[in-house]
Amino acid sequence: MEINNLYDELCSLENLTLAWRKARKGKTLHDDIIEFKKNLEKNLLNLHYELKNKTYKPKPLSLFVLRDPKTRLIAKSDFRDRIIHHALINVIESIFEKQFIYDSCANQKGKGTLLALKRFDNYTRKVSNNHTSPAFCLKADIKHYFQEINLHILLEILKRKIKDKDVIWLIKQILYNHGECIGGGRSTFC
């Protein structure tokens, strides 16, 4: 399935309003969200015009260290940029969602941690013959997974499904935030 002309839908005030609601969900008391809401209409209009005029630039990522369960460096986008992320997902999610395996639960509509636990329990019972036979589970983590993604290859995969060059432009803006490559510097788009 190829989708064209998504950018107008992405930039629409309706989509940006929906994206704002999703981005703030469960976080309405955070200072950055309260500040954005003070001038909500103006802020959403500014995002709309920046997208329409292709002057949108993400703000620098905030870096912090998280030490639970292991030490990791986390990069956090500014709240206004998270609205753009949601706006983008609102229009491209349906293109990719049906290609995911059923047991992919993270950030999937109607899925989540509870479904993942239920599926794990089902597999545990099946493999262990209802807990009467020994079974093993491999827990693994790929070190620096996101930092090692080759963004050139990722963009080529996205371009196979998304023909709208403006949407690809926005994706590049997000991936190459102010020229700082998230993908290990392997791409020529930095």
Among 50, 26, 21, 51, CA closest to 36: 21
Give the pair of three-digit tokens for residue 132: 């009467």
Owning domain of residue 105:
101-140
Q: DSSP states of 21-69 as a string?
A: HHHHTT-TTSHHHHHHHHTHHHHHHHHHHHHHTT---PPPPEEEEE-SS
Q: Report the DSSP beta bridge partners of residue 74.
A: 64
- In angstroms, how far is CA 3 from the centroid of its own chain? 19
Look at residue 122 and tell me if it is in a domain: yes
Task: Tell me if 163 is assigned to some domain.
Answer: no
> What ranges make up the beta strands (E) of the chain?
62-66, 72-76
The pLDDT of residue 140 is 85
Total tally of structural domains belonging to the chain: 1
What's the pTM? 0.82
Is 76 within a domain? no
User: Would 37 be classed as within a structural domain?
Assistant: no
Q: In this predicted structure, what is the pLDDT of residue 119?
A: 93
Q: Is residue 155 part of a domain?
A: no
Give domain status of residue 121, yes or no: yes
Which DSSP state fits 162? B
Question: Is residue 45 in a domain?
Answer: no
Residue 139 confidence (pLDDT): 85
- pLDDT attached to residue 47: 98
Residues of the chain with pLDDT under 70: 1-4, 178-190
Measured CA distances, 75 to 59, 94, 104, 123, 140 (Å): 12, 26, 23, 34, 22
Tell whether 124 is covered by a domain: yes
Amino acid present at 38? K
Check residue 158 and give its pLDDT. 94
Given a contact cutoff of 8 angstroms between Cβ atoms, the answer to whether 145 and 183 are in contact is: no
So what's the pLDDT on residue 145?
79
